[in-house]
Amino acid sequence: MINKQETSADLKYQYTGESQPNKDGARDANQRIYYPYLPSGDLIEAVNLAIALERPLLLEGEPGCGKTRLAGAVVYEFTQKYLKGQQNESGKQKWWDYYIWNIKSTTRARDGLYTYDAIARLRDAQLMGTNPQQLQEFLGREETEKLKKRLQDKKNYREFGALGQALQKHPYRPILLIDEIDKADSDFANDLLLELEELRFEIPETGESFPTPKHKPIIFITSNREKPLPEPFLRRCLYFFVHFPDRTRLADIINRRFGQLAKQKKQLVDLAVDRFYEIRQLLDNIPGSRPPGTSEFIEFLTALLNRESVEEALKDLANLSKRSPLLGTLLKTKQDQDLYQKKSSL
């Protein structure tokens, strides 16, 4: 358990995959929910190598194979292992510091570090410079003083992004997830080279400089391989391809997620798994199609298990091609649904 005297040098972080929330999940202070996650032995080893070598772990694999949820699984285990019993200011369980940077097509590298609202500062300056006396009559003395104080420090107009927060001082190594980096343009990854290599940055607008923190963040990066990533970026990462779970591992996931309910309705679960892999095999290697992933299957199975009776759920499975709402939990395009319906009618 971490205390104020311990440093990252004193403590060797290890991920084992053993600490798991119950089937209903657990919520942190930000209301993020964590469900059981079953990593392979190789994936556990890759995580620990990335931690030891202080390199980002780049995870690739098809959508729905569990890449994004790995970082949360490490957060949950480290919370249980190293912060167990520690409370936050609200008296609730303290959680491991965890930052998520969701990448979009318009995301710039600087956005993850900080944003600076120069327009807001200009607006405030104009307000103060017009007629301070009239402004005080309009806003009141208290609000006018706040405005004046805000203008006196440029730092009041900057806000840290997820990467910028992870590079601040922490009592232990925080965890950062950069999710779906391949969504950004081709220059994005190259624009992050310095920050990922040296874990430091500057803010020219405020004159601030943030050196490499003593407790370096543990960084996970996911990619769906929509675009190739540049070689200089790849050299700075450890790479791991997350394979889609086979039937045995999927069965373990189901048992962890649904517990006794899955065992009680084993026939239904087995048939749902058969139908799931049947659909994946049908869509595999078809251009433009997207086979359903684990997350879609969990929704699909949840819908079936929540039916009033097993008999009704079995009828749904038998007539899945005609159950468009249920089919929509697995297949997300009309093209894929039409393909499956055509195959089922033969």
Place of tokens 């601030």: 208
Judge if 82 and 211 occupy the same domain: yes
Which of 98, 124, 157 marks a domain boundary?
Answer: 157
Domain of residue 127: give its range: 115-157
* pLDDT score of 126 more than 50: yes
* pLDDT score of 133 more than 80: no
Q: Identify whether 291 is part of a domain.
A: yes
Judge if 286 and 139 occupy the same domain: no
Buried b (16+ CB within 10 A) or exposed e, 51-80: beeebbbbbbbbbbbbbbbbbbbbbbbbbb
Q: Identify whether 162 is part of a domain.
A: no
- Integer Cα distance of 129 and 217 in angstroms: 43
Q: Identify whether 331 is part of a domain.
A: yes
- Integer Cα distance of 294 and 250 in angstroms: 8
* pLDDT score of 266 more than 60: yes
pTM (predicted TM-score):
0.88
Q: Give the pLDDT of residue 11.
A: 64
Which of 241, 265, 296 marks a domain boundary?
Answer: 241
Q: Identify whether 5 is part of a domain.
A: no
Place of tokens 């819908």: 303
Band of pLDDT at residue 134, cut at 50, 70 and 90: low
| pLDDT, mean of residues 83-93 | 88
Judge if 333 and 263 occupy the same domain: yes
Judge if 181 and 253 occupy the same domain: no
State how many domains the chain has. 3
Query: Among 69-73, 213-217, 256-260, 265-269, whose mean pLDDT is lowest?
Result: 256-260
Judge if 219 and 102 occupy the same domain: yes
| pLDDT, mean of residues 161-167 | 97
Judge if 92 and 221 occupy the same domain: yes
* pLDDT score of 220 more than 80: yes
Q: Identify whether 13 is part of a domain.
A: no
Judge if 207 and 90 occupy the same domain: yes
Q: Identify whether 326 is part of a domain.
A: yes
Residue 108: which H helix or E strand, with range?
none
Q: Identify whether 19 is part of a domain.
A: no
Q: Give the pLDDT of residue 241.
A: 96
Percent of the chain at pLDDT exceeding 90? 71
* pLDDT score of 91 more than 90: no
What does the block give as tokens for 305? 């298990």
CATH number at residue 34: 3.40.50.300
| pLDDT, mean of residues 131-145 | 67
Q: Identify whether 6 is part of a domain.
A: no
Query: Among 21-25, 125-129, 241-245, whose mean pLDDT is lowest?
Result: 125-129
Judge if 128 and 88 occupy the same domain: no
- Integer Cα distance of 273 and 258 in angstroms: 14
Judge if 261 and 214 occupy the same domain: no
* pLDDT score of 225 more than 90: no
Band of pLDDT at residue 130, cut at 50, 70 and 90: low
Judge if 88 and 192 occupy the same domain: yes
Judge if 191 and 99 occupy the same domain: yes
C-alpha dihedral (4, 10, 16, 21), degrees to nearest 10: 0
Tell me the per-residue pLDDT of 2-31, one tens digit each, with 9 for 90 and over. 654 444 444 689 999 999 999 889 999 899
Which of 221, 241, 261 marks a domain boundary?
Answer: 241
- Integer Cα distance of 32 and 97 in angstroms: 12
* pLDDT score of 42 more than 70: yes
Judge if 232 and 255 occupy the same domain: no
